[in-house]
Amino acid sequence: MHTSKTTKSISVPLLDLQAQYETIRDELRAAVERVMKSQYFILGPEVQALEGDIARYSQCNFAVGVSSGTDALLASLMAIGIEPGDEVITTPYTFFATAGSISRLGAKPVFVDIDPATFNIDPLKIERMVSPRTKAIIPVHLFGQMAEMDPIVEIARRRDLRVIEDAAQAIGAEYHGKRAGSLGHLGCLSFFPSKNLGAFGDAGMVTTNDPELDERVRVLRGHGSQPKYYHKIIGGNFRLDAIQAAVLRVKFKYLDQWTAARQQNAKSYRRLFGAANLAVVTRDGAWNDTEDGVIVPHEGDGIRHIYNQFVIRVSKKKRKPLISYLREKGIASEIYYPVPMHLQDCFMNLGYRAGDFPESERAAAETLALPIYPELTETMQSVIVGSIADFFASQ
């Protein structure tokens, strides 16, 4: 299926934030110094300016700076009144924060399997899981590609449910011209350092077009206080630090440039895998476990994929030895995510078992993220793909 050639050795990290920092170091230091001089460290003008930037960028009327992407989810669920005993439909193939935030409020995560091509929640399987206790749907725009939002929004409209977009990995992603965070009642962004737009620590944002939800999230992020020291509701300490906002304002200027570089790297991967006769292109994610090669990421029509990760599939039996082989060559990779939520120990009380969500379980067993960061060179990519070709040739 492919030809082997010996590739030269080169170290390739999964992400190189030091390379990014070197290109904008002076701007970042000036921004931090500006905050130091102001001595205004929590919320304030830096946060307000960033909120305006992100709201406009996300095609939303409002954006509320919060302390992390996890707290964005938690505050959004609180804002729509999620209580103990409520049910929230979401995907089991996601980072823990999605289901964890639901459970923290005493509500029940109700899982729906994924589309194997996009790794996002399958909208065709959602409505059958709606019950009288269902209050919301949380689609996750995984790896930088938006879920099929039109049918999800239509289900929510018809069943009187709220939609919270988990767009932690998808700032700037588009679904038929509409930005992540603008299609649901609320959207949740993460600025964790490894994201396409990353802070110098934890930070997040809630987006919305609803002025009442905007106001409610703003009150909730400050312990539910309005005015100061007067509390009609119980909130949390979800405030965004001014230093993080200042850092993000610098990086925000380069976001589209960095996204374009990630998209170009994705194209280069496809070309290199194709040239090596390794690329298996499939819409449904179907995989013959005896077959060598990789399934490259699927991009849906009308989608702007921002490639927070570049996630390939390899056969289950080959993934672990491939990871070890790449590690020996100095090439980093990562599994997102090795255990789907319904099989996590802390969710055993939900009553799910292995086999309940076969596509999520198969994705957990087959997927592997390769480096995709903007500073990745084509030489590095050639070494990565060449090493993968060498691995299959050696089997």
| Strand, coil or helix: 199 | coil
Euclidean distance between CA atoms 12 and 329, whole angstroms: 9
Reading the block at residue 385, the tokens are: 């793909």
The pLDDT tens digits along the chain (395 residues) read 444 455 667 899 999 999 999 999 999 999 999 999 999 999 999 999 999 999 999 999 999 999 999 999 999 999 999 999 999 999 999 999 999 999 999 999 999 999 999 999 999 999 999 999 999 999 999 999 999 999 999 999 999 999 999 999 999 999 999 999 999 999 999 999 999 999 999 999 999 999 999 999 999 999 999 999 999 999 999 999 999 999 999 999 999 999 999 999 999 999 999 999 987 766 555 555 546 789 999 998 899 999 999 999 999 999 999 999 999 999 999 999 999 999 999 999 999 999 999 999 999 999 999 999 999 999 999 999 999 999 999 98
Half-sphere exposure for 309 (CA within 13 Å, toward CB): 22
| Strand, coil or helix: 354 | coil
| Residue found by looking up tokens 């939520």 in the block | 341
| Strand, coil or helix: 196 | coil
Sheet holding 134-138, edge to edge: 62-66, 204-208, 186-190, 162-166, 134-138, 87-90, 108-111
Q: Are 297 and 311 in contact (CB under 8 A)?
A: yes
- pLDDT the model gives residue 301: 87
Question: String of b and e for 249-271 (b: at least 16 CB within 10 Å)?
Answer: bbbbebbeebbebbbebbebbbe
Euclidean distance between CA atoms 248 and 195, whole angstroms: 11
- pLDDT the model gives residue 242: 97
Euclidean distance between CA atoms 13 and 66, whole angstroms: 30
Nearest Cα to 188, choosing from 210, 211, 212, 163?
163
Residue 211's CB: how many other CB atoms inside 10 A?
10
Ranges of each domain in the chain? 19-252, 255-394
- The CATH number, out of the four listed (3.40.50.1820, 3.40.640.10, 3.40.50.2300, 3.40.309.10), of the domain defined by the range 19-252: 3.40.640.10
Paired residues of 207 in beta bridges:
63, 187
Residue 63 CA, distance from chain mean position: 18
Euclidean distance between CA atoms 209 and 89, whole angstroms: 22
Q: What is the CATH number of domain 255-394?
A: 3.90.1150.10
Q: Are 142 and 119 in contact (CB under 8 A)?
A: yes
